[in-house]
Amino acid sequence: MKVLATTNCTWGLTKVMVSNLIARYGNGGAFPPPAFVAGLSTRDLERLKFGYRAPYLAAFARRVASGALDLSRWEDASRPDEDVEREIREEKGFGPYAADTLGRLLGRHGRLGLDAWSRKKVSALRFRGRRVSDARVARLYAAFGSHAGLAFWLDVTRDWHSGAERLWP
């Protein structure tokens, strides 16, 4: 559910959406579980600034809460990455970025999960600020094979560990 809040928007808006949901419905600062979110209306989610994502989030939460979507299938390491990616992308609202990002969170590190922020970051780190194609970025990390996405993510987030950037509210 949180990955949907990162699609097609700024990190600032993502923080607003997630913070609003937690402030209104969270328990002790925790993200509400799918069963709770499944009970929210699309309008409730829109009021929290989820915008066009609201119906996708509501539908996804309902599928998870009802058992129609078994997320443990995505966590099954014996399943091919391509099958899991296809299943993720079949969920409304989950495009290539969301599928790649979820894959990385699930230990499937072969894909990069490029978005506007990471494209800009890798451009500054590896291409002297020049704009480059996603294919060029993929070739740069291809040497890491099935861990290309992990290498990419560690590369673009390395400055987070300096403590200089405030990451969350």
Domain spans of the chain, in order of start = 3-105, 116-160
Which pLDDT belongs to residue 166? Answer: 62
For residue 165, pLDDT over 80 is answered with no
Q: pTM for the full model?
A: 0.81
Q: How many helices (H) and strands (E) does the chain have?
A: 10, 0
Tell me phi and psi for residue 149, to 5 degrees: -65, -40
Q: What is the CATH number of domain 3-105?
A: 1.10.340.30
For residue 129, pLDDT over 70 is answered with yes
Say how far apart CA 71 and CA 64 lie, in whole Å.
7
Question: For residue range 67-104, what is the model confidence (pLDDT) as tens digits?
Answer: 999 999 999 999 999 999 999 999 999 999 899 999 99
Q: pLDDT band at 27, cuts 50/70/90?
A: confident
Q: Looking at residues 14-19, what average pLDDT do you find?
A: 90
C-alpha pair distances (Å), 60 with each of 1, 30, 33, 97, 120: 8, 19, 12, 17, 30
For residue 169, pLDDT over 90 is answered with no
Contact (CB, 8 A) for 57 and 4: yes
